[in-house]
Structures are given as structure tokens and as C-alpha cells.
Structure 1
Amino acid sequence: MRRSRLATAVACVLLAGACASPTETAGDTGPVMVGLIVTTSGPLAAYGQQWLAGFHAGLSYATGDTGTVNGHKVEVTEVDDTADPAKAVSAAKDLIGKGARIIGGSIASGVAVQVAPIAAQNKVLNLSGPAATDAITGINRYTFRSGRQTLQDLATTQAMVGDTTGKKILVFAQDNTFGQANLAAVKANPRGAVVSGILVPVSAVDFTPFAAQAAVVKPDLLSVAWAGNTAPAMWQALKQQGALDHTTVVTGLDLRASYPTLADVASRLTLAAHYFAEATTNPVNQAMIAAVTAGGGQVDLFTADGFVAALMLVHAVQASPDNVDKQITALEGWRFDAPKGRQTIRAADHAMLQPMFHARFTNHGGTLVPSAVRALSADETAPPVVAMKQ
């Protein structure tokens, strides 16, 4: 699927510290072509659709609906990569060949690590999507995150569970880049625990044998890392096999459509939350919610990441519509107000420092709703600095 939209932009982002002086010469008002390579079909489609909804809301917010950044129209082309790295790479090359000077939007971690080198090879700005793999941080100077990374999830989890010395931790995850990164992160930061993992093939449809393996381990802490529409069947299998009994179960808060499927296990879950609408009440979050709902949508897990990407885009274009070095300089070290709160792009490796949340489900009239137990600051969840690779 491919669809083009004319998006809007204006001379000053409505955020603290976001204004920049025009760098282009008088009369230079050509368009800025942006290519978004986003998963909008298949098992991860909902994540991509959320990100895009947030992006367009953020672009509207940051630009006051005027259609320009320093006189430049922002022309956005969206391409569905179906979470296929080969399709994403082909789309990136095609978009760049047609004049896109900024790309972004990777939803799947396996896609993100393949698209990032294309940006470096062609010297274009890459605003990666919510793909969580730690490998994106510091992968090259042209690539920036719009969302969090696995080590920030891990820091949130560790803050929730406390001392794990001498305990058994089992990571139950999909055997893909996302799941492998989660297992690797926990093994690299065991904090005195004995860590093991069960990686489930992405093609699996019967999760009973894997859930049975988890039950045999009898871990003190079961950490579940899962994405996509197979989550309900996975949770049901873990429950039926007794893998959730007599253990602390920690997982990341997923999209809203999954909440009803967790009714039988919700009380057993400790949630490491990246974002949910009820987590904050700051003005930027309220503006995003209003914009998305006005368009008939609903704010969800990755809506804020798309919103942030749009803010980054406008800030970069304010520095220059076509000089990638000036765009990079503008983004490095940038601090801004986002739906989650104050965020900072770390200059050394482009990690996105941001608040994270400890949450739990509460039942309101038969409907599961997440509520924040604790907000962790950007400093508390900051990943270690890594050396920039390119």
C-alpha cells in the first residue's frame, strides 16, 4: 500500500526551546520530501497505524496547520513494508531515489536495523519508529529514535521488582529481533539472578508446549516480551499450563485492543509501561489526545512516538530543509516537551531519554483500564551510552 499526503508545517514549534532561525536563502521555498516506511498490514499493522496517527497529529500541532516550515511545504509519502526488511530496504532506496531527504517510521526491530544503514549510505535523516531493539542506538549519526529501547523497558522492570539476587528469571519471548534483544538485555544485566529464556518461533500457532516448558522452570520472575495479534493465545496457554502460578509476572503494556483478552490474567501482571493515555495530564498529551480523537481515532501504545517523530521532523527542517548535517546538529541534545513529559535526545548516541511508567490494571465497571503506579524519570531509565558506529 502506498499513499501520499500533504502535511503541514510552520516556522516555530509550539514547544519550549523549539524555535530556530531560518538557514535557507530568501526565495528558496521548495518542498521537503519525507518518506515514511511503516507497517500498516499484517500482525503488526495496529502498531504502525498508531504511529502514523500520532505523526499526523504531531505535525499538525507543531505547525499550527499552516502547511509550511520556514516557507517549505512538507510532502509525506507513506509506504507499507508489511514488517518485511527486504520490502523496507527497497522502499527506502526508492523513496530516496525520488528525492526524499528524510525517512523514518520503522515499527519492527528487524526492519529498523536494515533501514538505518541505508540512511547512512545516502546521508539522509532517519527518524526511526517504535522499534525497540537496542541496536538502533548509536547505529549511525543519521539515525534517531522516536521511541524507547529495550534497555529502558528493562530499567523500568528492574525498578518494579527490586532485588533479584539469587532468584530465577525466565524470559518468555518471540524468536525475532525484538524478543532476542529482550533476552540479551536481561542476560547482560542479571543483577545476581540466574537468567534463562524460551524463544518461541514467530510462526507458532500452538503455544502449549512452550508454556509447558515455562511451567517446568518455576521461575521467581517470568518476564514476557511479546508483540502482535498472537498475544491472547499466548497468555491463555501460559495460564492453562500453570506458568503464571506462584511467580511474579512482568510484561510490557500492550495496545488497548489486547486489554479485554487479559481479563483472566490481569490481576497477576506487573506492567512496565512505555505510554498510555492515562499516564500523564500534561498539555502536550492533552493536545495529542484531542487531535487524534477529533479525527475519529484513539490514542494508543505508539501514538506518542509518532507525535514525537513529527516534532523532531519540524525541528530538523527549521535548522535546514536539505542540509542533513545541520539537521543532525539541531536534534543532538535537543530537549523538548512531549506527551510523556520532558524528553532529551542524547547527543553521544541518539538515545531518546524519556519517562517510563510502572502500571497496573484496574477494573472499572467490567472494563480493564491501566493506571500509573509510579513514573520513572528519564534519568532513572537512561540506557548506558554507546559509541556511535558511523
Structure 2
Amino acid sequence: MQHKNSFKLICLSLALSSVFASASSLAQDLKIALIAGKTGALEAYAKETETGFMMGLEYLTGGKMEINGRKIKVLVKDDQSKPDLGRTALAEAFGDDKVDIAVGTSSSGSAIAMLPVAEEYKKILIVEPAVADAITGEKWNRYIFRTSRNSMQDGLAAASTIKSGGSIAFLAQDYAFGRDGVKAAKDALGAVGAKAKIVHEEYAAQNTTDFTAAAQRIFDVLKDKPEPRVLQIIWAGPNPMNKLADMKPERFGITLAPGGNILPVMKNWKTYVGTQGTIYYYYDFPKNKMNDWLVAEHTKRFKSPPDFFTAGGFAAASAVYTAISKAKSTDTEKLITAMEGMEFDTPKGKMNFRKEDHQALQSMYHFKIKKDQKNEWDLLELVREIPASELPVPVKNKR
């Protein structure tokens, strides 16, 4: 009888060990969904975001790809920058794939469509790199955090460089990103007390390739207005700056003011020496250990420096890593508690999630195009870093 009882105890012990081992094995899979527009107009942005996100996790985990002892598994999903596909991809990630946290996406329109899904599943969505103000404004919910800058941060940065009088016209894409960008730029000019007057807004379809008619309307309005006359371009994807420059706006005393863009776009601006603008990130501007590693490793692996959205993907990875490490859990409520007001390191330096709307507050950069360029990617000269303290981003949600 004693032997039988001993045998039963051994069997029970083995069974329990198997259960605990199985549970432990399951616990080691930390699932993260990364949703991006890998096909379509924003394909280049998506590729950079994914590269930066994976390099960020590698750096932060020392190559182990683990957080709190749990093996990281990243599920990459392509929403083609389409709102319906973005919504479906996030629902599948939270519902079928049982991911712990999600990051995305490239298009503002798609990101806005994803926001209610995060609320429905009560799971965290870190928005990167979409910028529309509505994401942390009227469309926001408590499960949304954003590492990318928003349109108002873009606008405030640009406005800080145009405080004098004169006349401003806008050329922007006719969808959430473009219209949000113009609204933010107008609000920002008011916020910094700029004396320049906005004289025209021109919106064009995302796939526009011929800007002749749009440019002519802008030139006709600007040419007789008080100087300086500035045409500010708010555009995602292939940028129209070269085509506008070919129409010689300088004939009318008009200066182009582009927002920063990805390196393959900006290298086509080399002939516009001295042209100024503002940008979220340029590899040579931030001076910190994390950026040094990113620049060195990216150049080693890809034969080019990291780009605009590479840094953004890295920042999102840092937010994920810091939040889960701090919360010691992937429980949504514990993550929210950990993330509200959380400071985290990025290639740009410190960012922190504002408690009121979960927008990452961060610095921006005022640049001008270099005269003496040493190589293919030596494009921009830093005028100055614009600290977050000089970018009074208003809280626009209804919390």
C-alpha cells in the first residue's frame, strides 16, 4: 500500500511539474503586434519603423530579446495604410493572436480607425508613427499612447522659426495628415505670437504628381503679399518640393519651407542650400549613447545612417520595454499606471508620456540644408534643438 501511495505521489508530482513547465513556457512568449503600411505610398516609412523597432528591442535587451524573462515574439502585420485593414489587423492581433501590446501604424487615417479596437479589447496601442492630432485629441481613449510627434508639435516647431511678419501659404495632402497639419500650423503660429499672416491653403490628392495648377494658384495669391513670402509644405510620401522649386517660386520672392523628410527624399534637395525647415530626427543631431549605437550599427548593417522613422520605431520599442519592465507585467491596468508620466530613453534623448493624453513630449530640430556636403547623406546642418519646454502642445482630448 505504501508503495502504491508513493507511486501516486510521484505521478502527481510529475503531472504538476508538467503543468507548471507548460505554464512557464507559455509565460515566456511576450507577444507584440507591429502594424505598418508595408505596401502602398508609405511603404518606406513602414520599413524604417520595423527596422528601428527590432533594433530597439535588440539594444534594450542586450540581444537576448527578452523582457522580465519572457521571450519576445513580434508579429508584423501589413495594413496597406488602409483604415479598414488597420482595424481588422489590430482586432486579429488582440483577438486571435492574443498579443500583449500593439504598436502602429504608418497612416493617420488607419491609426484613427484602430483606436476604438484598442478600447474594445482593453489593450494598449502605442501609436507610431502616425501624427494626426485627433489620435491624442478627440478620437483618443485611455488605452492609446503615442511615441511619434503630433501635428501640433510639427506646427509649433515650424512656427518657432517664423515669428516675424510676412505671408504664409500652405500646400498639404487632402486627408487627415495634411488637414491636421495645416490646422496645427495655424494654431501654432497663434500660440507663439507670430505676426505672419496666412493667405492661402491649397490641398491636393495624396497621389498628385502634377503640381502645376496648385502651384500657380499659390503663386498668384502670394506674389503681391507682404514679404517674407513663405510656402510651407506638409506632405507625406514622395515630396513635391523639387517640382515646386522647378517652377522657380523665387521669381515672386517666395521661399519654400519643407518639413523634414526621409533621407532618400531630402538628398534630392541638395541644390537648395540654405533652405530651412524643422524635423523630428536627423541622425547627426542627437548626441547620446543610444543614438551613437543606432547610427553605428545601422550604418554597419545597411550601409546608410538611420532615418526619420527608424528612430521612431526605436522610440516605440523603448516605450514597450520600459513600460513592461516598470510594471513587471503586461496587465493593461498595471501598464497604464506605469506609463502615465513615464520617462524613457530614445535616440532623440528623453521622452515622457504626458498623463493627460499620453502624448510623448519631446524635442524637435531646426535645420538648414548644408552648403558643403561630404557624402551622400551629409545633408543637414543643425540650427538649434528646440526643447519640449518650448513646444506648448495643448491637451485636446475630452478626458
TM-score, normalisation: structure 1: 0.86
Which residue of structure 2 lines up, in the alignment, with residue 133 of structure 1? 132
1:327 aligned residue: 335
* Residues 229-279 of structure 1, C-alpha deviations (whole Å, 9 max, x = no match): 2x2xx2233223333541232221111101232234x23621111101011
Task: Give the C-alpha shift of residue 186 in structure 1.
Answer: 2.7
- For 1:194, the equivalent position in structure 2 comes to 197
Q: Deviations over 1:61-110 (max 9, x none)?
A: 11112232112112110011111111111111111112112111211111
Establish whether residue 291 from structure 1 lines up as the match of residue 297 from structure 2: yes
- Counting only pairs closer than 5 Å after superposition, residues 338-353 of structure 1 correspond to structure 2 as 338-353=346-361
Give the drift of 1:203: 3.0
Q: Distance in 2 between matches of 1:237 and 1:294?
A: 34
User: Is contact 1:129–1:305 with CA below 8 Å preserved after alignment?
Assistant: yes
- Map 1:1-390 onto structure 2 (within 5 A): 29-98=27-96, 99-138=98-137, 139-164=140-165, 167-191=166-190, 192-195=195-198, 196-218=200-222, 220-229=229-238, 231=239, 234-245=240-251, 246-264=253-271, 266-267=272-273, 269-296=275-302, 298-318=305-325, 319-362=327-370, 363-365=372-374, 367=376, 369-389=379-399
Distance of 1:315 and 1:372 partners within structure 2 = 29
Q: Which has the higher helix share?
A: 2
2:389 aligned counterpart, secondary structure: coil
The worse-fitting range, judged by mean Cα deviation, of 25-34 and 48-57 is: 25-34
Deviates more, 1:142-151 or 1:283-292: 283-292
Contact 2:87–2:113 (8 Å) recurs in 1: yes
**Deviation of residue 366 (structure 1)?**
7.1
Measure, in 1, the Cα distance between the counterparts of 2:100 and 2:89: 14
Tell me, in whole angstroms, the C-alpha distance in 2 between the residues paired with 1:208 and 1:254: 22
Gaps of 5+ in 1: 1-24
CA distance in 2, matches of 1:312, 1:189: 27
Q: In 1, distance between residues paired with 2:297 and 2:56?
A: 9
Query: Does structure 2 conserve the Cα–Cα contact (< 8 Å) formed by 1:173 and 1:224?
Result: yes
Q: Relative to structure 1, is the Cα distance of residues 365 and 169 closer, same or farther in structure 2, using a 3 angstrom cutoff?
A: same
- Greater RCO structure (CA 8 Å; 6+ sep): 1
Question: How many Å apart are 1:371 and its aligned residue?
Answer: 1.6
Contact kept, 8 Å, 1:58 with 1:310, in 2: the verdict is yes
In 1: Cα distance, 2:311 partner to 2:246 partner: 35
In 2, the alpha carbon distance for the partners of 1:365 and 1:352 equals 34
- Secondary structure of the residue aligned to 1:204 is coil
**Which residue of structure 2 aligns with residue 20 of structure 1?**
none
Give the Cα separation in 2 of the matches to 1:244 and 1:46. Answer: 31
Tell me how far 1:388 sits from its aligned partner.
4.6
The one-letter code of the counterpart of 2:301 is: G
Q: Is the partner of 2:273 in helix, strand or coil? A: helix
Residue type matched to 2:83 in 1? Answer: P
Distance in structure 2 (CA, Å) of the matches to 1:301 and 1:261:
16
> SS at 2:358's partner residue?
coil
What is the CA distance between 1:289 and its match in structure 2? 1.7
Could you say if the C-alpha distance between residues 268 and 241 of structure 1 is closer, same or farther in structure 2, counting changes exceeding 3 Å?
farther
Output the CA distance in 2 between the equivalents of 1:48 and 1:110: 15
Q: 1:244 to 1:177 in 2, by over 3 A?
A: farther
Matched residue count: 359
Mapped to 2, the partners of 1:382 and 1:289 lie a distance apart of: 30
* Amino acid paired to 2:100: R
Q: Work out the CA distance in 1 between the residues paired with 2:297 and 2:134.
A: 33
Answer whether contact 2:48 2:309 (CA < 8 A) is retained: yes
- Tell me how far apart the structure 1 counterparts of residues 329 and 119 of structure 2 sit (CA, whole Å): 18
Matches of 2:37 and 2:145 in 1, distance apart?
18
Distance in 2, Cα, partners of 1:277 & 1:253: 12
- Residues 1:244 and 1:46: Cα distance change in structure 2 (over 3 Å): farther
Q: CA deviation at 1:386?
A: 2.8
Report if the CA contact (8 A) 1:334-1:345 is conserved. yes
Q: In 2 relative to 1, CA 208–255 (structure 1 residues): closer, same or farther, beyond 3 Å?
A: same
Residue matched to 1:10: none
Q: Counterpart of 1:379 in 2: which secondary structure? A: helix
Match of 1:8 in 2: none
Q: TM-score, normalised by structure 2?
A: 0.85
Q: Kindly name which structure, 1 or 2, has the bigger radius of gyration based on alpha carbons.
A: 2
| 8 Å contact kept, 2:37–2:80 | yes
What is the alpha-carbon root mean square deviation over aligned residues?
A: 2.1
Contact kept? 2:156, 2:189, Cα under 8 Å: no
Question: Residues 162 and 30 of structure 1: is their aligned pair in 2 closer, same or farther, counting only changes over 3 Å?
Answer: same
Distance 2:50 2:203 in 1: 30
